[in-house]
Structures are given as structure tokens and as C-alpha cells.
Chain A
Amino acid sequence: MRFKNFMTMALAVMAFVFGVSACGSDDNDEPEVAVAAQVAGSYTGNEIFVVDNEESSNETKTYVFAKATDTAVDLTIPEVGMGMMTIPSFAVKGIALTKEGSIIKGKLASYEGTAKGADGTDKAYTVTDLTALFSGNTVVVTFTMKYGRMPFPFVESFTGTRK
């Protein structure tokens, strides 16, 4: 009788432990690993940005991800536009990475910086709501950017592959 009670207790504890583990595995991202090195590199592809409901596309843009820490990368976005209507290359730093199955996901709520505008003056910019998804050699980046005194935000997306 006592043995049966012991076995019941043991099974209950095991079930609890496995149950908790299973829940944890299902609900959370995988434990952080050194993923930055896996995604760092130059990705070339198509950039689409929407300003005031007007969509523009640039087909050969290169986004560069550099390892910042084992679990974070910095992104350099190339310049766009021409002449006085150029938005210079700018950086977005500290994009935190997590691994979800075969996809590595980068997220950043907000980043503020300055870049030298076409007229030579420093322009403030704010990047918000950035998502970067890496799968194999493919990356997709989406974010919103406010640049200088431009009244409209840029809603950007980029799809590229690493050479």
C-alpha cells in the first residue's frame, strides 16, 4: 500500500515536471544561442517604401547586418533617392535576435539616430517597430521611419538574399 502510494506520488511529480517542461517548450522562444554570427552579412534584394500611400521600389539594395553581440545585430540601410531628395544611409543598432524553429527573428521597438542629409546638415531619424526574419539565406525586414521634418513616415519592407 505504501509502495503504491509512493509510485503514485512519483508519477504525479514526473507528470508535473514533464508537463511544466512541455508548456515551457511550447510557449516560449528557444533558449538564446549565438545567432548573430549566423545572420551577419550583406543581403541584396528589393526594397519597397510607402510614403503617404505612394509606393516606390528599389530592386538592388544591399542591407548589411553586423554582429553586435552574440544575440544582437546592427543594421546599415543604404541611401535612397537622388539629388536633394536623397535619404542618406543610416544605422539601426541593437536588434535583438531570437530563434524560432528554422527562423531567426530580430525585433526592435524604437531607435533614434542622426544622419548627414543631402544638404550637409545632420538630420534626426527615428526607426520604429522593426522586424527582421532570417530563414536560410533569405531576410525580410519591415519597419517605419521618420526622417528629419518630413511630415510623412516611411513604411519600409526589404526582401533580400545573402550571397
Chain B
Amino acid sequence: MTRFLITGMALAIPAVCLTAQTAIRDSVALEPVVVTASHSPKALKDAPVVTRLITLHDIKITDATNIQDLLTQEIPGLEFGFAMSQETSLNMSGFGGNAVLFLVDGERMAGETMDNVDYNRMALDNVGRIEIVKGASSALYGSNAVGGVVNIISRENLEPWTANINTRYNTFGHEWRHGAGFSFNTTKWNSQTSFQHTTLDPVDLPKAHSSEEVALELMKKAQGLPYDESVLNDDSNLSRLYGQKTYNVKERLTWRATDQLTLIGRGSYFFRTSERDTHDYHFNAYSAGLKSRYAWNADRHLELSYAYDQYDKASFMPDGTRTHDHDYTNRQHVVHALYSHSLGEISLLLGADYLHDHLATYQFLAGTIHSQHNIDGYAQFDWNITERLNVVGSVRYDYFSASSQKAFTGRLAVVYKLPLFTLRANYANGFRAPTLKEMYMHYDMGNMGYMLIGNPDLEPEKSNNFNIAVERQNRIRNSGIIDGRYSFTLMGYCNIFDKRITTIDGGMYDGMESAIYSNEDGVNVWGVDLSMAHYFDWGLTLKLNYSWMHQTGNVWFSQFNQPRTHSMTWRIGYDHRFSRHYALDAALSGRSQGKPQSGRTDVDQGYTIWKLMLQHHLWRSIHLNTAVDNIFNYKPKAYYYCSPLTTGTSFSVGVTVEIKN
């Protein structure tokens, strides 16, 4: 056996040498630049806080449709489940969807469904990269940046023009995805246009036991015969995954008016219909923005921008009649100002924002609408004290008119570069202001005589986040088979989270039982994240991400998500250009989730799901994608809100035709 392995390796080495430097992957060839950790461009290796970067190549190889598909495959410790009404619910290292801030090109999105933004809005067809900063970042981004920030950054094609059409079919839910895009670039103008349409049929989720099997055991029980108690204890939450359709169209136009002045206009429209048993939900989102950037020189610039985002929900009967009993509209107007100035080794950033938040929802007392103003100002200094030592400090003040609440937040990050490693230490505050919904809710849940009542006296949730990280990135040269780039990051963190907003028993209200929003004691989240990657020059990629997490304090476990102590994602990839006309990009990836921390034994006790992806690149313009997801056919015994969304192995095939000048 040993001889066989040695012979195999000996045969492999020349083959590898022959193919050296022929990898088609391009995403790691350049020094990646990130913006989220410091609100300004910095090389990833210089970022003051550990930033997880998902590159364009990562996005393409996962063949994900939206942010939910992608993050599930890429980030350990992150799971999407369902909330009530089968809306998607996020859990990231113990934090829910309302404690993780999602940004698209730095802008937050309006609307929420069960405390989560509509993740379907975040289609990936025109996304260039995604940056994830774990932990608190409210000193730069304000409310909601408690557990982390996920910043989705659009792609900007720089070829004179590009056009692409794509389609993909997935056997799970007979899902179809169709897309098209067009871009052009001149000296003065750059335009990016994209369209995506998806359809998903309803999926009947198998139960552990059929109703007939349950009835038979009940009959035996009624007749005094021996029966199987386990058959009677199926408490699945979900029996059917609702079908849906989405439409997503986006346009971004850049005008380089002068060498100093750039104007960017953007607009998008999103529509989703979710087909329920007795009615359909319709979701509409409208977004528009205008940004101007004036650069006096490379060291001094000013950004002014305005952004509008609107998210609507409504319910319709099968005949198309709008019922008006689930009408919801959230509109947000945002004005930003950002000034940055570099003075040698010190960079200064000054910013201010104004947000007007307007909410009309069926969950308010009939006929009432609420709105509020949020004003903030912040400053950040970035000081390279020596070539090895960098310190970044930020302070911010926020004011919310509806609650008259104020929040002071700060952050101090230190980066020290040793010859072999880079050390990072970071302390940051986070907060989440009470939402209008949490303050003014007045809702008879499901018309079933159970009231949910808002609380105008709520205080903001607060967090104190500490993390320390050791990191190494380097390139190996002249060592044969192992030549390439590698990276290693180990981060430990603690997030002390207090004044958590939740619902408590509200006693009897107008003859009905009730729950009222209230601040509760918080929870402390401790964790360790480990990331390792090696990009071999000859095309092989090895990536491993592991996350350990533990909660102490006032821990309570929601039925909608079950945080897990251990979780891991990995990928073994290989990309190679065989000729001018054919290249292959292959990836065997997986994710593994450990047991829930709650100790709950009826839900999934950990699972592992593997995916194989093959992308064939033909004549540089045709890309044929095939994938087998859940290769080993993992099936949950029962479907809970926190179960992985799979009914077993699924297959997908897609094709993209891309033309570039």
C-alpha cells in the first residue's frame, strides 16, 4: 500500500509540474481590498478587524442564487431556518437576523419579516464580493451592527461592454433561475444592468411517519394492544415548503464627470410572491440612490449621497383580490456625508447620516402610522504609528426621535505586524435601537385572541465586543508542488450582549392574553473562529473554516434556531485550463453542523452535507454548470424550523453565455 502511494505521488508530481501556473482562478492573484472594517479601502491584510472575504470566484463556484444559499455554504456558525409564517430566519453565532446588519454597497435595506430582512432581495447576479465582519461595528454603522456586518458589494465590469444570459434548473422544488445582464464602460460612463427571475414549486416535506401509520398505532392503543409510542411523537413544524416566484432588476450608472467628480445613480425593483394554502403574499421593494464623490487628490475626498428604500407586503386571494388585512409599507430616506483626509501616517474620517423611517403595518392599531428620525455623527482616526503598528479608533453618536434614545459607541482596533504573524486586537460597542414595530405593535396574532403589544419605553440593546486574532498570509515559491498562497487566521472573541429586546407575558389585555416587548438581561457569546486556505499555483484549492461558540448568561433558545457549538465548512477545489477552448472548475465542498447547544434532542443532532460542483468553460464564453447537492442523501427525520432545508440529494444544471468585448 505504501509503495502504491509513493508511486502514485511520484507519478503525480511531474504531471503537476507540467500544469503549474495554468490555474484559471484569478480572484487570489491580486491583493484583495476590503472596505467594511474601516469604511474606507484597505488591503485585506491591513484591515483593522478580521474580515471574511467571499470573492467573485467563491460566488461563482457555489452557484448560489441568493445570499442565503451562499452564506450557508461559506460561513461556519451561520444557519438559516424558518420563522413563523415560513419566513427566513438567520442565526449567526448566537445572534438573530435583527442583530446582524446587512448592507448592499454600504446601504441598509428597509422592511423586515419576522425580524429578518428579505434575503431574497439580495440576488447574487451582479455581486462582485461580500465582506463579513463578525462582532460589533456600531461605531461605524450604527444600529443593528451587534453580532456582525455583511456588506454585499456590486461588481463593476471594466470591459468596453459585456452581455450575458443564464439559466439554471434545480431538482429541489423544480427551481428555475433565469438571468441576464449587460454592462458598458467608456472613459466617462459605466453602466451595469441585471435581471433575475426565479420560480420554486411547493415542496412537500416528508414526515417521519404517515398519518395512516400514526392512526394505526392509535387504533392499537385504543384496543389495548401493544403499540409503538415513538410513532406517535412526531412533532415536525413544517409539512410543506411554500412555492415562490421572484423578479429582481437593477441598474447602476456611473458618470465620471471630471477627474475629481464622480456621480453614481442606481435603482432597483424586486418582486416576490409566496404561494400559501389559502392566499398569496406579495412583496415589493423599490430602491434608488444618488451618490457624488469629489476627490481633491488621492488623500482627500468627500462623499454625499441620498438613498431611498421601500419594502411593501400585501395579501391576495387566489382570485387576485387584495385583502388589505396584511398591508405593510416601510420607507426609508437616508442622507450620508463622509469626508476623509489622509495626513501622512494619519487618516481621518468624519461622517454624518440622517435617516427617516416610516412604517405603516397591519400590526399597528388600525389607522395609525409611525415614523422617526435618526441622526448620527461619527469620526475615525487611523494612525500608522510605526511600519508595524496601526491603531484605528472610532466614536459615534446616534439619536432616535421616537424613543428619544441616544447611543454613544466606540471602537479601538490595534494591528501589530510581527515577522511571521499579524496580531489584531479589537474592542467595539454595538447597539440596536428599538424598531417602530417593537415600540408600537398592537396586533391580535392571527386573529386568535392573543395580543402582541409594543413598548415605547424600550431601551436600545447594547453589546461590548472583544476579539483578538493571529493571522498569517504568505506565498510559497520555488518549492514545487506546494507553491502558492496560503492564509491562516485564528480569532477568539467575546460579545457581552445586554438589554435584549424580547416579549414577556403582558397579562390580560382587553379580555385577551397578551405579550409585551421588554428589555431583558442579555447573554454572553464566546467563540473561536479558525480559517485556513491554500491556493496552489497548479489549480488546487484547500479551504477550511471552523467555528466554536458558547453562550452564557441569560441564555434562551428559540424554536426557530438552535445555535450549535461546533460547525465547519470546507472546500477542495481544482481549476485548470486544458486548452484555449476548454477549462474546468471543480469543487467538492461541505458543511457540518454539530449538536444544538440547547441540548434539545428531538431536532437534528448535527449533520453533514456535501456538494459537488463542476463548471465547464467552453470557448471562454459558454459556462456549463452542474452540481450534485447533498451527495450522501442526508434527510432530517422530521422538519423543524431549524432543520436543514433538504429532502435528500438534488441535482442542478445551468448554462451561462457571456460575451465580452
Contacts and interface: CB of A to CB of B under 8 A. Distances in A.
Contact of A151 (B221, B236, B446): B446
B56 to A, nearest CB: 38
A103 B216 CA distance: 10
Contacts of A65: none
* Most A CB within 10 A of own CB, among B216, B278, B559: B278
Interface stretch (B3-11, B134-142, B292-300, B447-455): B447-455
B367 interface: no
A157 B215 CA distance: 8
B447 A117 contact: yes
Contacts of B237: 52-53, 152
A38 interface: no
Given A52-B559, A142-B215, A159-B218, A124 B278 contact: yes
Interface stretch (A6-14, A88-96, A127-135): A127-135
Contacts of B277: 124, 126, 146
Interface in A86-139: 103, 105, 107, 112, 117-119, 124-126, 128-133, 135, 138
Contacts of A118: 449
A149 B363 CA distance: 13
A63 interface: no
A133 B449 contact: no
B278 A142 contact: no
Interface string A61-104: 00000000000000000000001110000000000000000010
A121 B454 CA distance: 26
Nearest to A130: B211
A114 B110 CA distance: 35
Interface in B507-532: 511-512
B223 A138 contact: yes
Interface of chain B, helix or strand or loop or mixed? mixed
A153 B277 CA distance: 11
A84 B239 CA distance: 27
A140 B215 contact: yes
Interface of chain A, helix or strand or loop or mixed? strand
How many A residues touch the partner, as a band?
Answer: 35 or more
Interface string A150-163: 11110101010000
Contacts of B511: 83-84
A157 to B, nearest CB: 6
Nearest to B232: A157
Contacts of A159: 218-219, 221-222
A130 B210 CA distance: 10
Interface string B234-277: 01110100000000000000000000000000000000000001
B235 A83 contact: no
B326 interface: yes
Interface in B429-484: 444, 446-450
A141 interface: yes
A157 B218 contact: yes
Nearest to A158: B218
A157 B217 CA distance: 11
Given A84-B449, A118-B449, A103 B326 contact: no
A41 to B, nearest CB: 16
B214 A142 contact: yes
A143 B218 CA distance: 13
Contact of B450 (A85, A124, A146, A148): A85
B278 A126 contact: yes
B85 interface: yes
B217 to A, nearest CB: 9
Contacts of B218: 133, 140, 142, 157, 159
A69 B325 CA distance: 39
* Most A CB within 10 A of own CB, among B84, B449, B450, B559: B449
B448 A84 contact: yes
B319 interface: no
A18 to B, nearest CB: 31
A50 interface: yes
A62 to B, nearest CB: 16
Given A133-B212, A150-B446, 14 more contacts: A125-B278, A126-B277, A131-B215, A133-B218, A138-B222, A140-B215, A140-B219, A140-B222, A142-B212, A143-B211, A150-B448, A152-B84, A159-B221, A159-B222
Interface of B: 84-86, 210-212, 214-216, 218-219, 221-223, 235-237, 239, 277-279, 315, 325-326, 444, 446-450, 511-512, 559
20 contacts: A50-B235, A83-B449, A83-B512, A84-B511, A112-B278, A119-B447, A124-B279, A131-B211, A131-B215, A133-B216, A133-B219, A140-B215, A144-B211, A146-B278, A148-B446, A149-B326, A149-B446, A151-B84, A151-B86, A159-B219
Interface of A: 50, 52-53, 83-85, 103, 105, 107, 112, 117-119, 124-126, 128-133, 135, 138, 140-144, 146, 148-153, 155, 157, 159
Instruction: Give the 7 A-B residue pairs with the shortest CB-CB distance, closest first.
Output: A84-B449, A124-B278, A85-B449, A151-B84, A151-B85, A142-B211, A140-B218
